[in-house]
Amino acid sequence: MKYKKIGDILILDNIPAEDDLSQLASKHNVKTIMKINHIQGTKREPNYEILYGFKTETVNKENKCLFKLDLSKVMWSKGNTNERLRIAELVRDGETVLDMFAGIGYFSIPISVHSNANEVISIEINPNSYYYLNENINLNKCKNVTPVLGDCLIETPKYKADRIVMGYVKTTHHYLKVAVNSLNKGGIIHYHETVPSKLMQTRPISRIRQACENRDVELLKINKIKKYAPGVEHVVIDALID
């Protein structure tokens, strides 16, 4: 049986026979068992079933950071664990970082915990995610994270940053122009896209180049995060923009 443990909640891919559930809960030392069918809409909200127990809020520890979240309200992607740490480790002392789709602080919290960034500005549109973003800022004692509730298209132009994280995979390219306009000269963008495998080397970087118009773009890395669907990859492009 395939499962994931997030804090003290077990997430199953399939529904087992009901009398197995209490055994399963005690074997994995969890209070709740859920099935998450899919993540829906712009705000990336879970469509879920509770199979055992009732508590859907938990605290998940990852990369020495604490993430409080309610799995009936916000998403958690186990497949992005390495990427969340990779970005935090790239941040240089004194940088201003803009986290455009901040969620509950998936990137903002590890950046604040593991780097010496001057400021992390975290923009999130979903009030439930924004609530947990604030909880996680407090839980991890982050002093340099500024949470902003709102739409990236409207909020991003109010800031300038040395590094911009675009950790969203639905129509992320629609936000590239505002991101580029807020990126300081010589800054770095981490642009996420779900892309057919055969276009992985070309489509995301050409979209970045298009958004940059007259600015020079240097492709630093194409990082494959995970398989998103058959023949479709979730990738992140690191690009330096002059």
List of residues contacting ligand SAM (CB under 6 A): 42-44, 75, 77, 80, 84, 101, 103, 106, 123-126, 129, 151-153, 167-168
Find the shortest distance in angstroms from Cβ 185 to ligand SAM. 25
- Cα three-residue angle 131-38-134, rounded to 5 degrees: 10
CB of 21 to ligand SAM, least distance (A): 27
Cα gap 16→19, rounded to integer Å: 8
Q: Closest Cα to residue 79, out of 171, 192, 242?
A: 192
Question: Which is nearer to ligand SAM, 22 or 82 (by Cβ)?
Answer: 82
> Least distance (Å) from ligand SAM to the CB of residue 16?
27
Helix, strand or coil, per DSSP, at residue 139: helix
Q: Indicate the residue among 51 and 99 with the shorter CB distance to ligand SAM.
A: 99
Give the nearest distance from C-beta 23 to ligand SAM in angstroms. 30
Measured from the CB atom, the residue of 32 and 122 that comes closer to ligand SAM is 122
Q: Report how far Cα 86 is from the mean position of its chain's Cα atoms.
A: 12
d(CA 87, CA 120) in angstroms, rounded, equals: 13
Of residues 77 and 96, the one with the C-beta less far from ligand SAM: 77
**Six-digit token string for 194:** 């779900």
